[in-house]
A and B are shown apart, each in its own frame.
Chain A
Amino acid sequence: MPLYSDTVMDHFQHPRNVGKMEDADGIGEVGNAVCGDIMRMYIKVRDGIITDVSFITFGCGSAIASSSMATEMIKGKPIEEALELSNKAVAQALDGLPAHKLHCSVLAEEAVRAAVKDYYDKNNIAYDPAVFGCDMACAHEHDHTPTEE
């Protein structure tokens, strides 16, 4: 049985919205290199709508696929809707992720929120800090179950 669904492989091999954005309104970066995955998400906002989004990611196949899927899911959406994007929704849209890769979808959710927070901060837009409760730094769950070759 292959590790990943066809949808994950498609988004991994043909990532949507990949690349840096020079004139982004908000940039969010989550994860850390020690853990093995970092996602950076760029958003452009007009009248409360995310008009453009892109990402760059260091990480495994599911990390790249999760970033790609998340960008598709928030593009053209109002910010409030983007903030509601859950890791479950990302994983579902990818037709599922292996249990020990679910944290990649959590990272995607966090990357979107980090980008929005950055946009709010840069534009002095007031927000309820509780919405961005976590510190975004490698807060995702890792699976510690060792497997053998």
Chain B
Amino acid sequence: MYVYADNAATTAVSPKALEAMLPYFSEVYGNASSLHSPGQRAAEGLQRARETVAKAINADFKEIYFTGCGSEADNQAILSGAALGARKGKKHIVSTAFEHHAVLHTLEKLKKQGYEVTLLDVHENGVVTPDDVAAAIRDDTALVTIMMVNNEIGTVQPIADIAKVCRERGVLFHTDAVQAVGHIPVDVKALDVDMLSMAAHKFHGPKGVGALYARKGVPLVNVIEGGQQERGKRGGTENIAGIVGMAAALEEATADLDKDMAYVTGLREKLIEGLSKIPHSRLNGDREKRVPGTVNFCFEGIEGESLLLLLDARGIAASSGSACTSGSLDPSHVLLALGLPHEIAHGSLRLSIDRMNTEAEIDHIIESVPQVVDYLRGMSPVWDELERGLTPHLI
């Protein structure tokens, strides 16, 4: 048995999405900007996909801009908000410390251009409060950008309440919903957000396709200059097969969302219960305010990369926020933002499941993880000192 439990990194393209895509490689290969009939058939496919994606998040199809990935959608939303603000002399942006790097690095770039950025604390439970947002907004705030679901720990942010604060204060609001769309209900009208990012490959669509929702009247700046594609806001001949795959995958993911959420939540609860039995372990992120499928644990005394490699050898694909897996000196900025000390953050494990996973797979994880953790603790000098009482347990 090989269990794929890394769906927050990416997912398999669903058979339905793949089937929908295939004709667009070799049969319906026209350029959607062409006037001839092969081009028009491609344009029809593109339009249907746009309507499908719009409907899934309760938007108008004219508010959907397809992009090359979730990161591009984040970049475009933030750069647009920043540009609009600058025109009114507003150069302050509010975000959080645990955003995806697509957001954080764009903000870093803006800082070099003279913008000021406030990164909100995400508290011990990984949830931002609307009051924090209200307190951070200033007269010169151009944009608030806060993710809907955190990709590492799975906590869900109170987006509707935050959007309300922003609306009252007249500040543009963007949410990175890359980990939310297709997994929990996302209704842009009910949430009342101005911009929202998504990526197809997180809900069983293809990689390399994303979309930005921008409410009517929100002026976008281009990240890619070019032709008149995407209402002139994103140059480049459209990746129609990818876009059609995104729409098909999203339609499928939202068709039975309530049922799927209940199913995945059930599996997750079993997973949390099973892993919580490991001594000196800790569930990261709020116990309740979380997306159905993402679970993040820290195990004291071990390091995440070796844990991942041994789990892979036992047929489990997962991920970790340890420094060794991030390729940098520090463990994940998300875990550090929760206030975890480095030595604890190094021992993290993220398991992200979804509707494609089975209960037997969860059983396999619950059986394997404690064995691997035990084995690694048995050869860990850190664990040895903890067990001999030379250093105090932190969890």
Say how far B109's CB is from chain A's closest CB, in angstroms.
Answer: 15
Residue B176 is within 8 A (CB to CB) of chain A in the complex: no
Alpha-carbon separation in the docked complex, A144 to B379 (Å): 27
CB proximity to A under 8 Å, residues B7-32: 9
Instruction: Assess the B327–A100 pair: CB atoms within 8 A.
Output: yes
Instruction: Assess the A58–B302 pair: CB atoms within 8 A.
Output: yes
Residues in chain A near residue B327, CB distance under 8 A: 100, 143, 145-147
Instruction: Assess the A60–B324 pair: CB atoms within 8 A.
Output: yes
Q: Which of A11-19, A72-80, A82-90, A122-130 contacts B (4 or more CB under 8 A)?
A: A11-19
Instruction: Assess the A34–B343 pair: CB atoms within 8 A.
Output: yes
Contact mask for chain B residues 327-346; partner A; CB cutoff 8 A; 1 contact, 0 none = 11101000000000111001
- In the complex, which of the residues A33, A61, A63, A143 contacts B343, with contact meaning CB atoms closer than 8 Å? A33
Known: A33-B346, A37-B303, A40-B381. A59 touches B324 (CB 8 A): yes
Contact mask for chain A residues 20-32; partner B; CB cutoff 8 A; 1 contact, 0 none = 1000000001000
Known: A59-B306, A148-B101, A149-B9. A35 touches B382 (CB 8 A): no
Instruction: Assess the B323–A35 pair: CB atoms within 8 A.
Output: yes
Instruction: Assess the A59–B329 pair: CB atoms within 8 A.
Output: no
Instruction: Assess the B324–A56 pair: CB atoms within 8 A.
Output: no
Alpha-carbon separation in the docked complex, A20 to B75 (Å): 51
Residue B310 is within 8 A (CB to CB) of chain A in the complex: yes
Residue B273 is within 8 A (CB to CB) of chain A in the complex: no
CB proximity to A under 8 Å, residues B286-329: 301-303, 305-306, 309-310, 313, 319, 322-329
Instruction: Assess the B342–A36 pair: CB atoms within 8 A.
Output: yes
Instruction: Assess the B384–A144 pair: CB atoms within 8 A.
Output: no
Known: A59-B306, A60-B303, A60-B305. A33 touches B324 (CB 8 A): no
Known: A36-B322, A36-B323. A29 touches B328 (CB 8 A): no
Known: A13-B310, A145-B327, A145-B328. A34 touches B342 (CB 8 A): yes
Instruction: Assess the B380–A61 pair: CB atoms within 8 A.
Output: no
Alpha-carbon separation in the docked complex, A59 to B306 (Å): 7
Known: A36-B346, A100-B327. A57 touches B101 (CB 8 A): no
- In the complex, which of the residues B313, B326, B346, B381 contacts A13, with contact meaning CB atoms closer than 8 Å? B313
Instruction: Assess the A60–B342 pair: CB atoms within 8 A.
Output: no
Instruction: Assess the A35–B329 pair: CB atoms within 8 A.
Output: yes
Alpha-carbon separation in the docked complex, A146 to B104 (Å): 13
Residues in chain A near residue B310, CB distance under 8 A: 13
- In the complex, which of the residues B324, B326, B342 contacts A146, with contact meaning CB atoms closer than 8 Å? B326
Known: A20-B384, A36-B331, A145-B327. A57 touches B379 (CB 8 A): yes
Interface bin, chain B: 20 to 34
Residue A142 is within 8 A (CB to CB) of chain B in the complex: yes
Residues in chain B near residue A149, CB distance under 8 A: 9, 319
Alpha-carbon separation in the docked complex, A5 to B383 (Å): 28
Say how far A145's CB is from chain B's closest CB, in angstroms.
Answer: 7
Residue A97 is within 8 A (CB to CB) of chain B in the complex: no
- In the complex, which of the residues B305, B309, B342 contacts A33, with contact meaning CB atoms closer than 8 Å? B342
Alpha-carbon separation in the docked complex, A142 to B327 (Å): 10
Alpha-carbon separation in the docked complex, A29 to B384 (Å): 12
Residues in chain A near residue B303, CB distance under 8 A: 36-37, 58-60, 63
Alpha-carbon separation in the docked complex, A70 to B328 (Å): 25
Say how far A23's CB is from chain B's closest CB, in angstroms.
Answer: 16
Instruction: Assess the A39–B379 pair: CB atoms within 8 A.
Output: no
Residues in chain A near residue B382, CB distance under 8 A: 33, 38, 58
Residues in chain B near residue A38, CB distance under 8 A: 380-382
Residue A64 is within 8 A (CB to CB) of chain B in the complex: yes
* Nearest chain B residue, comparing its CB with the CB of A33: B343
* Nearest chain A residue, comparing its CB with the CB of B346: A36
Residues in chain A near residue B379, CB distance under 8 A: 15, 18-19, 56-57, 64
CB proximity to B under 8 Å, residues A41-97: 56-61, 63-64
Say how far A20's CB is from chain B's closest CB, in angstroms.
Answer: 7
Known: A35-B329, A37-B303. A58 touches B383 (CB 8 A): yes
Instruction: Assess the A60–B322 pair: CB atoms within 8 A.
Output: yes
Alpha-carbon separation in the docked complex, A112 to B341 (Å): 29
Residues in chain A near residue B326, CB distance under 8 A: 146-147
Say how far B119's CB is from chain A's closest CB, in angstroms.
Answer: 17
Alpha-carbon separation in the docked complex, A21 to B380 (Å): 13
Residues in chain B near residue A145, CB distance under 8 A: 327-328
Most central of B302, B323, B341, B382 by chain A CB within 10 Å: B382
Alpha-carbon separation in the docked complex, A7 to B115 (Å): 50
Residues in chain B near residue A59, CB distance under 8 A: 303, 306, 324
A and B contact pairs by CB, cutoff 8 A, 6 listed: A35-B329, A35-B342, A38-B380, A58-B301, A64-B379, A100-B327
Across the A-B interface, give the 7 residue pairs with the lowest CB-CB distance, nearest first. Answer: A60-B324, A33-B343, A60-B305, A147-B327, A40-B381, A58-B380, A58-B382
